[in-house]
Amino acid sequence: MAPKVSTAATRTALLEAAREEFAAHGVAGARVDRIAERAGVNKERIYGHFGSKEKLFDAVITEALDDLTAHIALPGSDAGAYVADLSAYYEKHPDLVRLLMWEALNYRGQDLLPGQETRVARCDRKNASLAEGLGQPASTETARTLFLLTGLALLPSMLPQLARIMIGPDADTPASRQRMRAHIAGFISSALVPEGTDGTEGGPGRS
């Protein structure tokens, strides 16, 4: 008789299978039978564990962002290094980039995302860390800066076709991506000057 698979193992297998399926097809295009087949379980187990395909997608996003948070330090006083590390993480996890893009399409216009309170709290910690590094109190302005930094980290993995058009056909090579991360880090370091280090308020560099 085949050994029983634990509930935790089944959940893990479903999340791994669903991450691949959702990254490829989004919420609308994903099929629970393909997820179940890939996970090696009956598709009814999906509903038993998560309730619906949409809630399974939310669980996949939550797990993916938990992993990102565990691997990327807060921005602190070196926002350039933070964005370079974040960009490298996205490069190694292109499925997360696709998941975030699918989430934006699927939830556009909704007031709240599932798990939004946790995600807001994480962003608040990042905002506080960035603001401290800039010698400023955390504010809406530093949150806007954090949003732009996140966009810069995402851009190379989100729009590689534009990089090939603008930079050249080798833009998507590992060496070129590394140079792009260094370029972004240098750009940010010159743009964000901690308060008091140049006689001005912190924020974008001033001439």
Distance between CA atoms of residues 192 and 77, nearest Å: 10
| Mean pLDDT in residue range 148-159 | 96
Structure token pair of residue 135: 């010698």
Question: Where does the pLDDT of residue 39 fall: very low under 50, low under 70, confident under 90, or very high at 90 and above?
Answer: very high
What length is written for the chain? 207
How far is residue 200 from each of residues 74, 75, 116, 142, 143, measured CA to CA in Å? 24, 21, 35, 16, 19
pLDDT digits (tens, 9 = 90+) for 101-135: 999 988 866 677 888 899 999 999 999 999 999 99
pLDDT at residue number 200:
52
The topology (CATH level 3) of 1-59 is Arc Repressor Mutant, subunit A (1.10.10)
| Mean pLDDT in residue range 66-88 | 96
Looking at the chain, the domain(s) classified CATH 1.10.10.60 span 1-59
- What are the φ and ψ backbone dihedral angles of 193, each rounded to 5 degrees? -110, 120
Q: Which residue has the higher pLDDT, 2 or 55?
A: 55
pLDDT at residue number 160:
92
Beta bridge partners of 61: none
**CB of 91 within 8 A of CB of 156?**
yes
The number of CA neighbours under 13 Å toward the Cβ of 69 is: 15
Distance between CA atoms of residues 38 and 14, nearest Å: 8
Mean pLDDT of the residues in the chain: 90
Distance between CA atoms of residues 150 and 83, nearest Å: 7
pLDDT at 198 over 70: no
Distance between CA atoms of residues 83 and 78, nearest Å: 9
Q: What percent of the chain has pLDDT over 90?
A: 79
Residue with tokens 């370029």: 183
- 23: nearest Cα among 15, 86, 201: 15
pLDDT digits (tens, 9 = 90+) for 157-188: 999 999 999 999 899 899 999 999 999 999 99
pLDDT at 202 over 70: no
pLDDT at residue number 3:
44
* 3-class secondary structure, 136: coil
**Gyration radius of the chain's alpha carbons:** 20
* 3-class secondary structure, 1: coil
pLDDT at residue number 108:
67
Structure token pair of residue 160: 């590689």
Structure token pair of residue 204: 């974008």
Question: Where does the pLDDT of residue 199 fall: very low under 50, low under 70, confident under 90, or very high at 90 and above?
Answer: very low
Q: Which residue has the higher pLDDT, 91 or 111?
A: 91
Q: Angle at which helices 94-106 and 140-158 pack, to 10 degrees?
A: 120
pLDDT at 155 over 60: yes
What type of residue sits at position 151? G
